[in-house]
Amino acid sequence: MKVLLVDDHPLILSALQTVIQGLGDHVNVTGVGSARAARETLQADSDFDLVLLDLQLGDANGFDLLVEFRAAYPALPVVVVSASDRASDVIRSIDQGAMGFVPKRASNETLFEALHMVMSGGIYVPPMNIGAENGFTHADTASDLDVVSREAADSEFQKQPSLASLGLTPRQTDVLALLLQGNPNKLIARELGLSVETVKDHVAAVLRALGVSSRTQAVLAVSQMSQKHGGFSTRRSGTLR
C-alpha cells in the first residue's frame, strides 16, 4: 500500500510516517511538507492508495487542497489528519470529499481503525458530541480518550438504530452506498439505470430513514452507526468500479 502523507510540521510528519509504516511490511509511506510538494509527487506518480492530509499547511489551505485532489484524483481516498477538534471541520471535510477525519490527539489504534475502515471502502469520522461547543470534548492526555468516548456515546447523535433496522430496500441501500461516495443524483441514476427523479425519491427516503436533512449529515450518521454496529462498506459488487 502506497501512502502519501502531507504535513508541514517536521516532527509530526516523521512521527506519523513511523506510525503508518507500522501498519504492515508492505506499507510504503512518502512524506511531504507542503502542498506544492504534494502536487509534484502526485503529478510524478499518481499510483497512491491513500493520502493523509493536514489542514494547516504553510503554502495552502488544506480544504482547498482537499477539493483539488478530489477533483484531480477522484479514485484516490483522502483522510484528513488534523490538530483541529471542531465538528465544523469534520463536517466540512466530509462534505468536500474526505473519506475520513482523524484528530491528531487520537491514539495509534484509532488511526489504524480509521485507515482500515477507509481502505475497506468505508468512511471514518471520530465520535462527536454535537451538543458540545466545538463538537468534541477536550482531553489533555491519552488516558482521557475513554472519557471522550463515553461522553460521545451518551450524545443523542450516537443513539441511532443500526443500519439493518432502518428498513431500507435493496435499491435504497444501493443509492445510499453511492451517496456516501459523494456521487450526484445524475451519476447515481446512470450507475443504477434509474431516472434522476426516481433517485431523488430514493435519496429523500434514505434521509428520512436516517433522520437527517442533508447528504453530509447522512455520511456522518452512517459512519457513526457503522462504528457502533459493525460497519457499512461503500463498495458494492457488480455496480461500483
Of 208, 226, 204, 216, the residue nearest 130 (C-alpha) = 216
* Residue 117 forms part of a structural domain: yes
Look at residue 6 in the predicted model and tell me its pLDDT: 95
Q: Which residues neighbour 202 within 8 Å (Cβ) at sequence distance 6 or greater? A: 171, 172, 175, 194
Same domain, yes or no: 167 and 122: no
Q: Does pTM top 0.85 for this prediction?
A: no
Same domain, yes or no: 180 and 72: no
* Residue 148 forms part of a structural domain: no
* CATH value at residue 222: 1.10.10.10
* CATH value at residue 21: 3.40.50.2300
Of 181, 180, 188, 192, the residue nearest 225 (C-alpha) = 180
Look at residue 95 in the predicted model and tell me its pLDDT: 84
Final residue in a domain of this structure, among 126, 153, 174: 126
* Residue 133 forms part of a structural domain: no
* Residue 32 forms part of a structural domain: yes
* Residue 196 forms part of a structural domain: yes
Tell me how many domains the chain contains.
2
Q: What is the pLDDT of residues 145-161, one digit of tens each?
A: 344 344 434 433 334 44
Look at residue 131 in the predicted model and tell me its pLDDT: 38
Final residue in a domain of this structure, among 126, 153, 181: 126
Same domain, yes or no: 102 and 56: yes
Final residue in a domain of this structure, among 72, 101, 126: 126
Look at residue 105 in the predicted model and tell me its pLDDT: 86
Cα–Cα dist 6/133, whole Å: 28
* Residue 190 forms part of a structural domain: yes
Same domain, yes or no: 10 and 121: yes
Look at residue 128 in the predicted model and tell me its pLDDT: 59
Same domain, yes or no: 42 and 104: yes
Structural domain for 109, as ranges: 2-126
Same domain, yes or no: 105 and 14: yes
Q: pLDDT below 50 — which residues of the chain? A: 129-161, 229, 234-241
Same domain, yes or no: 32 and 100: yes
Q: Which residues neighbour 47 within 8 Å (Cβ) at sequence distance 6 or greater? A: 2
Torsion of CA 211, 233, 241, 81, to 10 degrees: 90
* Residue 136 forms part of a structural domain: no
Q: What is the pLDDT of residues 3-57, one digit of tens each?
A: 999 999 988 888 888 888 887 778 899 999 999 999 999 999 999 999 999 998 9
